[in-house]
Amino acid sequence: MPVMNFAQALRDALRYELAHDDAVVVFGEDVGKRGGVFNITEGLQEQFGEERVFDTPLDENGILGMAVGMAVMGLRPVAEIQFVDYLWPGYDPLYSEAAKIRFRSGNQFHVPMVVRSPYGGLVGGGLYHSQSPEALFAHVAGLKVVIPSTPSDAKGLLIASIRDDDPVVFLEHKRMYYALKEEVPEGEHVVPLGKARTVREGEDVTVVTYGMMVHETLKAAEKLEKEGISLHILDLRTLIPFDGDAILHSLERTGRLVIVAEAPRTVSFASEIAAFVAEAAVDLLDGPVVRVTGWDMPFPFKLEKHYMPNVTRIARGVKRALSLLP
C-alpha cells in the first residue's frame, strides 16, 4: 500500500469518487485552479474539468445553499468551507434545509451532500481559524458528523460520507494535513460511519476521544504506562452516529472513563458522551467521569498551548478517574 499523508488521503478519496460516480461534484472557495487553501483538491480540476471541480464566490450561504439544491436534484456535492470558523453564514441551509428535507418530504427526497472543513487549534490561527464547533453540528437532528484521525480513516470515511444519502459534516484537523503519514489502501476503501476504532488496548481506564486528540492521548498513554497505568483508547471517528456499544464494552473491562476533546467544556460532545454513559451504564463506573477539554472562552491567540488539552492535562484527568488525584 502507498504511504500517504492526511491531505493526500483526502485527495485520493475525492479523486476516486469523481472517477467512479458522475454525480459527484467538488466546489468551494479556491478549490479549483488553486486546489484549496490547504491544497487538498490540487490537480482535480485539471483532471476532471471545471464542471466537476470549480471555484465559488466568497459566500458560505451560497455554497451550502447550492449544495442542498444539487443534492436534492440527484448530484452528490462535496462543498469545502475554507475554515469551519467561516461556516456560520451558511449554517441556515444546513440547519433549516439539508437536515430536514428527508423528514419534511416523507422520505421522498434525500440530501446526499458532504461539507468538508478544517478545524482545530495549535496552528497560530487565533480566534477565527482555530475553533472546534462540532457540538453545534451534532445537535442538529438529521446531520451526520465525521472527524477522522488518520490518513487511512480520512480516505475511508470520506468515501463513505460521499456515498451516504444524508448530509454529512466532515471535519479535518488542520494540524494533521501534512504531519501524519501511514499506509493507505489503494482504490476503493470504505470505513463505515458509526463504528469506533480501538486505538490501544488497556485495562485501567477507557479514554474516548477523536480527531487530533487521539494522538495527544496516545502520548499520554505512553507516559502513564511507565507509571503502571494502562489506557484503553477509543477513537469515535463518527460523532453522529456514535458507537455507544464500543464505549460500554470497554467500560465493562475498565470501569473508568475519561473523555478528551479540544472544544470548550460546557455543552460539548464530551458532555454528551458523559450523559450517555450515565443513562446507559452508570453501574459500570467505579469512579467519576472526567472530561479533559478546552476552556469556556473564545479561542485565545497567545495562550493556545494553555487552552488545548495536552499530555499533562490528560494524565491528570486519568488519575482523577482512578481517584489518585482530587
User: Which amino acids are annotated catalytic?
Assistant: 129
| H-run or E-run covering 316 | helix 311-321
Reading the block at residue 102, the C-alpha cell is 428527508
Q: How far apart are CA 174 and CA 124, in angstroms?
A: 11
Angle at 69 between CA 66 and CA 71, to 5 degrees: 105
Q: How many CA atoms lie within 13 A of 134 on its CB side?
A: 35
Q: Which residues make Cβ contacts (< 8 Å) with residue 324, sequence separation at least 6?
A: none
Under 8 Å between Cβ of 183 and 271: no
Under 8 Å between Cβ of 154 and 214: no
Under 8 Å between Cβ of 118 and 173: yes
User: Dihedral sign, CA of 204, 210, 214, 220?
Assistant: negative
In this structure, are strands 231-235 and 24-28 parallel, antiparallel, or unpaired? unpaired
Q: How far apart are CA 122 and CA 84, in angstroms?
A: 15
Q: How far apart are CA 12 and CA 9, in angstroms?
A: 5
Write out 38-94 in H/E/C secondary structure: CCCCCCHHHHHCCCCEEECCCCHHHHHHHHHHHHHCCCEEEEECCCHHHCHHHHHHH
Segments in 207-310 forming alpha helices (H): 213-225, 244-254, 269-281, 304-307
Q: How far apart are CA 137 and CA 318, in angstroms?
A: 28
